[in-house]
Amino acid sequence: MSLPSRGEGWGEGLGRRAEKPSWGYAPRVSDPKIEALKQVPLFSHCSPKELAFLATRTDEIAAPAGRQLTSQGHPGHTFYLLLEGEADVTIDGKHRRTLKRGDFFGEISMLDLGPATATVVTTTPVRLMVMSHPQFRDAVRANADLLTQVMAAMGERLRSDLLAPRA
């Protein structure tokens, strides 16, 4: 059996029903982005199809320790998801929390296009998945549960920061 020519499917143009190639199908190879997204609590409720869609909306980057990812009061253009490493969050110069694998930030600026509400600096080398505003918008439009989880996490953080002791 020869391979179909360009524009023909298996068996098309041959006057018979389409059939599988004689060598069979290759096993499905897992996508590292999808595997990484599966490990993140924010995406734990997503179906395989939703994870595949999200993977097409993210880019993966690495950054060294000491890299400032966001700066409080400056425009925020990126949603970050920490896959490996740690980063410190400061608000008004005060340390608020340390982010670890599975944590995310930048969602507030993604939702309102406003300035970053905190400064985030890596404390170890990190691996991140990032989304620009259009990528984030597409992802949450496609999955109402994802938007609900992002909003709930955002509310929890804002409340925590509001109730934090002031020095």
Residue 9 above 50 pLDDT? no
Which pLDDT tens digit goes with each residue over 31-82?
Answer: 788 888 887 777 777 888 888 888 888 899 999 999 999 999 999 999 899 9
Encoded amino acid at 143, one letter = N
Q: How confident is the model at residue 109 (pLDDT cuts 50, 70, 90)?
A: confident
Q: How confident is the model at residue 13 (pLDDT cuts 50, 70, 90)?
A: very low
Output the average pLDDT for the chain.
80
CATH number for 32-159: choose from 2.60.120.10, 3.40.50.410, 2.40.70.10, 3.40.50.11540: 2.60.120.10
Instruction: Say if strands 126-132 and 59-63 run parallel, antiparallel, or are unpaired.
Output: antiparallel
Looking at residues 91-103, what average pLDDT do you find?
93
SS3 for 58?
coil
C-beta neighbour count of 124 within 10 angstroms: 13
Q: Cβ distance 139 to 145 under 8 Å?
A: no
User: What pLDDT score was predicted for residue 163?
Assistant: 77
